[in-house]
Amino acid sequence: ESVFSNVARAPEDPILGVTVAYNKDPSPVKINLGVGAYRTEEGKPLVLDVVRRAELQLVNDQTRVKEYIPIVGLADFNKLSAKLILGGDSPAIKENRVATIQCLSGTGSLRVGAEFLTKHYHQNVIYIPKPTWGNHPKVFNLAGLSVEYFRYYDPTTRGLDFQGLIEDLGAAPSGAIVLLHACAHNPTGVDPTPEQWEQIRQLIRSKSLLPFFDSAYQGFASGSLDTDAQSVRMFVADGGECLIAQSYAKNMGLYGERVGALSIVCKSADVASKVESQVKLVVRPMYSSPPIHGASIVATILKSRERNRTPGDWSHIIKQIGMFTFTGLNTEQVAFMTKEHHIYMTSDGRISMAGLSSKTVPHLADAIHAAVA
């Protein structure tokens, strides 16, 4: 007789259980619409080209070792992650008042943030939207927070219950923590408008509520990493404090690598460094330090993105419609690109987008960079 014979069978996770059931189904027409993961046209898992390239670069780098990394993770990764969500010119970053800690994807970042709050924050109530990602209440409860809901989705309009949201947050006790999806709310796909965000911000600040952003889909709402970070940046621009859990599972397709970051934006550099010292005490007995590989991939990709920062605004490439892009490159720049980089286009700087493929885009980007930088 096992000492565990009285252990009852637990139910499958409601989200991950969908895949378990799908895998068991022998039908050739089966479709899995449960898990949030990109698939190829054939339904196979997809690894992004940038990720493959970064991995090759890492594997070929003979100086890389497998020693433990610090409790807080890779310094480069942390810096670049904070920049990605807060913006390159964020005063909070410049003033050194953001403590960023590499964590185990979005879930781990939420959990570490919640454990820190349980130990060091004066209010242990967290308000989460109704409905929200199914793991939220479990993560926060286990970390020792007490979970309440605020109205979010209105089934009759299939849109935001803004009135309900404002009423419920308005009735929350002063100092309560509020979990906000930075963008692309899961599971509803309903986000507040920028004007509504501004009203939410005013309410949260006027009641001294503490915003905790869950950013699992930066880039998925508008297609722009910066636009999708606007909600978070509004709350940082007002000088107030907040927490942010970032996940690279979706926007870099790194699901199983478990790469994410927790940032705690504080009022001063002194507070931020003390906060960081306490978050280390949360992490050390939990998993000691985070894994190297996934964070190295992200750091490599974000670093190369920085390097290519071609001067000027190139958003017209996305905004202009039709088959052509009127690049704004002048005759001399076009001639330079043809001569030095073997790229051919009309001298007015017009390029046919149809002539490009995902393989040739980096070559074009490098050539434009060389022409204008």
Which residue ranges make up the site for ligand PMP (CB under 6 A)? 36, 105-107, 133, 181, 186, 214, 216, 247, 249, 255, 260
Set 83, 161, 191, 250: catalytic member: 250
Which residue type occupies 319?
K
CB of 335: closest distance to ligand PMP in angstroms?
47
**Smaller CB separation from ligand PMP, 247 or 263:** 247
* Residue 214 annotated in active site: yes
Return the exposure string of 81-118: e unless at least 16 CB atoms fall within 10 Å of the residue's CB, then b: bbbbbbbeebebbeeebbbbbbbbbbbbbbbbbbbbbb
* Residue 267 annotated in active site: no
CB of 131: closest distance to ligand PMP in angstroms?
11
CB of 256: closest distance to ligand PMP in angstroms?
9
The total of other beta-carbon atoms located within 10 Å of residue 293's CB is 15
Residue with tokens 């943030």: 113
Which residue type occupies 360?
T
Set 168, 191, 214, 228: catalytic member: 214
> 246 with 219: CB under 8 angstroms?
no
**Smaller CB separation from ligand PMP, 36 or 291:** 36
**Smaller CB separation from ligand PMP, 242 or 249:** 249
**Smaller CB separation from ligand PMP, 130 or 369:** 130
Closest CA to 180 of 251, 230, 239, 255: 230
Tokens read off for 268: 């001063």
> 136 with 110: CB under 8 angstroms?
yes
Q: What are the φ and ψ backbone dihedral angles of 351, each rounded to 5 degrees? A: -120, 140
CB of 147: closest distance to ligand PMP in angstroms?
15
CB of 184: closest distance to ligand PMP in angstroms?
8
Q: Which ranges of 98-229 does DSSP label H, i.e. alpha helix?
A: 105-120, 136-142, 162-170, 194-206
**Smaller CB separation from ligand PMP, 116 or 255:** 255
CB of 218: closest distance to ligand PMP in angstroms?
11
Return the exposure string of 8-29: e unless at least 16 CB atoms fall within 10 Å of the residue's CB, then b: eeeeeeeeeeeeeeeeeeeeee
* Residue 133 annotated in active site: yes
**Smaller CB separation from ligand PMP, 201 or 250:** 250
Closest CA to 16 of 215, 256, 254: 256
Set 83, 133, 168, 191: catalytic member: 133
In the DSSP assignment, the letter for residue 26 is -
Q: Which residues are tagged catalytic?
A: 133, 214, 250
